[in-house]
Structure 1
């Protein structure tokens, strides 16, 4: 928003529409609603999503933290059974983290990690996202054994197909909701911008208890976020 050539009224309307529509709003839909060019609307939306991601990057998870990985394709059509879908290298891997306090869901984070999930990547994400000395629950993926080596209590359980959603209930719920959100509104997207769509999804999820304040909170996030140009968004 800083030094933007776009009138503030359009920024406020865009922030309002993004913050009040749980389904999200597509760039095409926004451009038609506000009478903007497609690329002007695209730039505004992605700058706002970047602000969402920047804001949530300042928080770390604590308590019991569930972690699981999911794979997102450009069509977002995956088989529901993990035993069949596996960990495909043709899709984009996302590490999903959900904090729990007294069995209540707290904050969540979703991080795009590329084409595979390995111990080095897991360690990097956890160090950035989770406070030291927490309890982390995962499935039996061997790469997760690094968790106990970086200062956390690791509860690892080998699960198969149908039982996976019971052991890691909240991460599976978040993954399912994220895919419904993306497929329902945006249909298809490139790997390059997947993180920004996920930033929007879990920013809203993390503030689900303060829906009436979302507009004000998002205004704040946008005003304190680092200014970025179109070239940075398209790199």
Structure 2
């Protein structure tokens, strides 16, 4: 989908300095959790674009993105001030590292990577499949959705920055009663730590679907 005006349907606080934004889906829009879209804004007369990963399990009527807000950033204050009815310019989706109906999804998420993590896990459970989420962050978000996933039978492990990622990853892989598809979402240091944890646990790091946020 090329640049398309889309209206904001809802904006919700989901934790410290983070919001989930529901955007009305154009008729031709189709995406899976883990793909990403480009949002373009006008800032001081100049176009500014940012990429955000889809964090909703479905995109039929609306799709959701989860956004960390940097009050000092160029785009953060604009996103923080959005309200239902406001208009965004959206293109996409992009990316090939997304959920495709795998029978057991194991998602390792750092920081904002929890957005696609919860979307993938929810989609997997809705399709009758299974999911595990390991999430590391000192300021966790999407707590309600993670709790709901655990209540529905998903493996969920939350860690702070000093948490044992190796042990949590090994436990998540051990929980899989089918050949797991591994997903990793986060910034570069987390991606490196997560893939090392997978290798230490004897998992398939080379077969992982990875989105490095930089």
TM over 0.5: no
TM-score norm. by structure 2 comes to 0.27
TM-score norm. by structure 1 comes to 0.26
Larger relative contact order (C-alpha < 8 A, sep ≥ 6)? 1
Greater fraction of residues in strand: 2
Higher Cα radius of gyration: 1
Greater fraction of residues in helix: 1
